Amino acid sequence: MPVDEYLRGVRQELALRYPKVDRWPIDTLYFGGGTPSRLGGEGIARLMDLFREQLTFTGAEEITVEANPEDVTADAARRWREAGVNRISLGSQSFDDKVLAWMHRTHDAAAIEKAVGAARGAGIENLSLDLIFALPERTMRSWEDDVAKALALDPVHLSLYGLTIESHTPLGRWKARGDVIETPEENYEREFLHAHDALTGAGLEHYEVSNFGLPGRRSRHNSSYWRGVPYLGLGPSAHEFDGAVRRWNVGPYFEWLSRLDSGKDPIAEREQLTAENEGAEHVYLGLRTSDGLALSVREVDHVQAWIDAGWAILGENSRLVLTPLGWLRLDAIAADLTLFRSRY
The enclosing domain of 113 has a CATH number of 3.20.20.70
Looking at the 3D structure of the chain, how many domains does it have?
A: 2
Torsion sign over Cα 334, 197, 141, 94: positive
> What does the alpha-carbon distance between residue 202 and residue 157 come to, in Å, rounded to a whole number?
12
On whether residue 135 sits in a domain, the answer given is: yes
Does any domain span residue 264? Answer: no
The domain boundary residue, chosen from 226, 259, 283: 226
Q: Report yes or no on 207 lying in a domain.
A: yes
Per-residue confidence (pLDDT) for residue 221, from 0 to 100: 92
> Could you tell me the mean pLDDT of each successive run of 10 residues in the chain, 344 residues long?
90 89 84 87 95 88 96 96 96 96 93 98 97 91 97 98 65 47 81 98 97 96 90 94 94 96 96 92 95 95 96 94 97 96 87
Q: What's the start-to-end Cα distance of the chain, in Å? A: 53
Question: Edge-to-edge strand order for the sheet containing 293-294?
Answer: 293-294, 319-322, 312-314
| One domain, residues 190 and 90 | yes
What are the Cα distances from residue 275, in Å, to 272, 280, 284, 289, 336?
10, 9, 14, 22, 17
Same domain, 289 and 203: no
Q: Would you mind telling me the total number of residues written for the chain in this entry?
A: 344
The residue among 70, 115, 53, 108 whose CA lies nearest residue 88 is 115
Residue 93 lies in a domain: yes
Q: What pLDDT is recorded for position 179?
A: 47
Both 291 and 198 in one domain: the answer is: no
Which distant-in-sequence residues (6+ apart) come within 8 Å of 331 by Cβ? none
Domain match, 282 and 170 both = no
CB atoms < 10 A from the CB of 147, how many?
A: 22
Residues 6+ apart with CB under 8 A from 82: 45
Phi, psi of 157 (to 5 degrees): -155, 145
**Cβ 135 vs Cβ 98: under 8 Å:** no
Of 226, 245, 261, which residue constitutes the final position of a domain?
Answer: 226
Backbone angles phi, psi at 62, to 5 degrees: -95, 115
Question: Quick one: DSSP state of residue 127?
Answer: E
Regarding whether 200 and 308 lie in a shared domain, the answer is no
Regarding whether 290 and 176 lie in a shared domain, the answer is no
* Same domain flag for 99 and 218: yes
Looking at the fold, whether 279 and 210 belong to one and the same domain comes out as: no
Strands 157-162 and 211-213, bridge-based pairing = antiparallel
Question: Taking a C-beta distance cutoff of 8 angstroms, is the pair 85, 64 a contact?
Answer: yes
**pLDDT for the residue 174:** 46
Whole-angstrom Cα distance, residue 333 to residue 287? 9
CA-to-CA distance for 280 and 284, rounded, in angstroms?
A: 6
- Looking at the fold, whether 206 and 322 belong to one and the same domain comes out as no
Q: Is residue 68 part of a domain?
A: yes
Beta pairing class for 24-25 and 245-249: unpaired
326 with 184, same domain: the answer is: no
Question: Final residue of a domain: which of 226, 254, 287?
Answer: 226
Task: Specify the pLDDT at position 168.
Answer: 53
Provide the pLDDT for residue 171.
47
Structural domain of residue 163, as residue ranges? 19-226
Give the pairing type, strands 205-208 and 211-213.
Answer: antiparallel
Residue at 296 is within a domain: yes
Asked if residue 237 belongs to a domain, the reply is no
In a domain, 263, yes or no: no
Of the candidates 187, 128, 118, 196, the one whose C-alpha atom is nearest the C-alpha of residue 159 is: 128
Identify the sign of the CA torsion 124, 110, 90, 251. positive
